[in-house]
Structure 1
Amino acid sequence: MSTMTTDDFTLADTPLDGQCIALTSGGTGGHMFPAVSLARALVRRGATVVFFTDARAARYTEDVEGVTTILLPAGGIAGKGLRGRISGMLRLALGTWQARRHLKKIRPAAVIGFGGYASIPATVAAKSLRIPLAIHEQNAVLGRANRVVAGAAARIATSFRDVRLIDDADKPRVVWTGNPVRQEIAALSAAPYNAPTADGPVNVLITGGSQGARVLSEILPKAIVNLPDALKSRLHITQQARAEDLDQVAKTYEGSGIDVTLKPFFDDIAQRLRDAHLVIARSGASTVAELTIAGRPSLLVPLPHAIDDHQRYNAEQVEQAGGAWMLSQERFTVDIVSERLAKLLTGPAALALAAEGARSAARTNAAERLADMVLDLLGLNPAGTPVDLKQETTHVQGDLA
Structure 2
Amino acid sequence: MSRTPILSIAGGGTGGHVMPALALADAARAKWPELQVNFIGAERGLEAKLLPERGENVLLLSMHGVKGAGLFQRLRVLLWELPKAVLTIRRAWKTERPDLLVGVGGYASISGVAAALISRIPVVLYEQNAMPGLVNRTLAKFSRCMMLGFSDATEHMHSHVHSIVTGNVVREHIMATRWQPHSPPRLLVLGGSQGALFLNNNVPEACQHLIREGREFVVTHIVGSDKETLKKVTEMYAEADIKADILPFCDDMAAFYASGDLMIARSGAMTVCEAACSGMPTLFVPLPSAADDHQRHNANVLANVGGALVLDQRAMTTDLLARQLDTHLFDTYLLNRMSKAALDAAPFDASENQLKVLGEYLPGPLLYLPKKRQNKGVQA
- Verify same fold: TM over 0.5: yes
SS of residue paired to 1:204:
strand
Instruction: Please give the residue correspondences for 1:22-101 in structure 2 after superposition, counting only pairs within 5 Å.
Output: 22-44=8-30, 45=32, 46-56=34-44, 57-62=47-52, 68-90=57-79, 91-100=81-90
Q: Which runs of 5+ in 2 are unaligned?
A: 370-380
1:268, distance to aligned residue in structure 2 (A) = 4.3
CA offset at residue 260 of structure 1?
2.5
Partner of 1:238: 220
2:12 counterpart SS class: coil
Matched, 1:372 2:356: yes
TM-superposed deviation, 1:298: 0.4
Give the superposition deviation at 1:206.
1.0
Match of residue 297, structure 1, among 275, 278, 281:
281
Change (3 A) 1:87 1:249: same
Residue in 2 that maps onto 1:210: 193
Q: What does 1:300-339 correspond to in 2, within 5 Å?
A: 300-339=284-323
Does residue 1:272 correspond to 2:256, yes or no? yes
Letter in 1 for 2:133: G
Q: What does residue 393 of structure 1 align with?
A: none
Once the two structures are superposed, what CA deviation does each residue of 1:109-137 show, in whole Å capped at 9, x if it has no partner?
Answer: 22111110011012123234442210111
Contact 1:195–1:349 (8 Å) recurs in 2: no
**Correspondence for 2:114:** 124
Inter-partner Cα distance in structure 1 for 2:60 and 2:253: 31
Letter in 1 for 2:343: R
Deviation at 1:368, TM superposition (A): 4.8
Alpha-carbon distance in structure 2 between the residues aligned to 1:58 and 1:224: 36
Matched, 1:169 2:160: yes
Alpha carbons of structure 1 residues 81 and 228: separation in structure 2 relative to 1, 3 Å: same
Q: What is the rounded CA distance, in whole Å, between the counterparts of 1:27 and 1:211 in structure 2?
A: 11
Aligned residues: 361
- Inter-partner Cα distance in structure 2 for 1:370 and 1:356: 25
SS in 2 for 1:27: coil
Match of 2:209 among 226, 236, 247: 226
Relative to the length of structure 2, the TM-score reads: 0.84
d(CA) in 2 for partners of 1:266, 1:102: 34
Once the 2 structures are TM-superposed, how far is the Cα of residue 257 of structure 1 from its aligned partner? 4.9
Give the AA of the match of 1:203: R
Conservation of the 8 A alpha-carbon contact between 1:103 and 1:126: no
CA distance in 2, matches of 1:377, 1:106: 17
Structure 2 contact 105–135 (Cα < 8 Å) conserved: yes
Report if aligned partners of 1:243, 1:263 keep a CA contact under 8 Å in 2.
no
Secondary structure in 1 aligned to 2:19?
helix
* C-alpha displacement of 1:249: 3.2
Offset of residue 71 of structure 1: 3.4
Contact preservation (8 Å) 1:158, 1:175 = yes
Give the deviation of 1:327 after TM superposition: 0.5
State the partner residue of 1:184.
173
Aligned counterparts of 1:228 and 1:106: Cα–Cα separation in 2? 59
> Quick one: distance in 2 between partners of 1:114 and 1:273?
25
Checking the alignment, whether the CA contact within 8 Å between 1:324 and 1:354 is kept in structure 2 is yes
| Distance across 1 between alignment mates of 2:14 and 2:239 | 39
Judged with a 3 Å threshold, the aligned counterparts in structure 2 of structure 1 residues 97 and 147 are, in CA distance, closer, same or farther, namely farther
Q: CA 1:244–1:304 in structure 2 vs 1: closer, same or farther (change >3 Å)?
A: same
What amino acid maps onto 2:296 in structure 1?
A: R
Give the conservation status (yes or no) of the 8 Å contact 1:75–1:89.
no
Question: Is there any run of 5+ residues in structure 1 with no aligned partner, and where?
Answer: 1-14, 386-401
Cα distance in 1 for partners of 2:165, 2:29 equals 22
Cα 1:221–1:162, aligned 2, differ >3 Å: closer, same or farther?
same
What is the CA–CA distance in structure 2 between the aligned matches of 1:64 and 1:255, rounded to whole Å? 38
1:79 to 1:231, Cα distance in 2 relative to 1, 3 A = same
- Output the TM-score relative to the length of structure 1: 0.80
Return the letter of the residue paired with 2:19: F
Q: 1:349 aligns with which of 333, 355, 359?
A: 333
- The amino acid that maps onto 2:127 is E
- 1:21 corresponds to 2:3: no
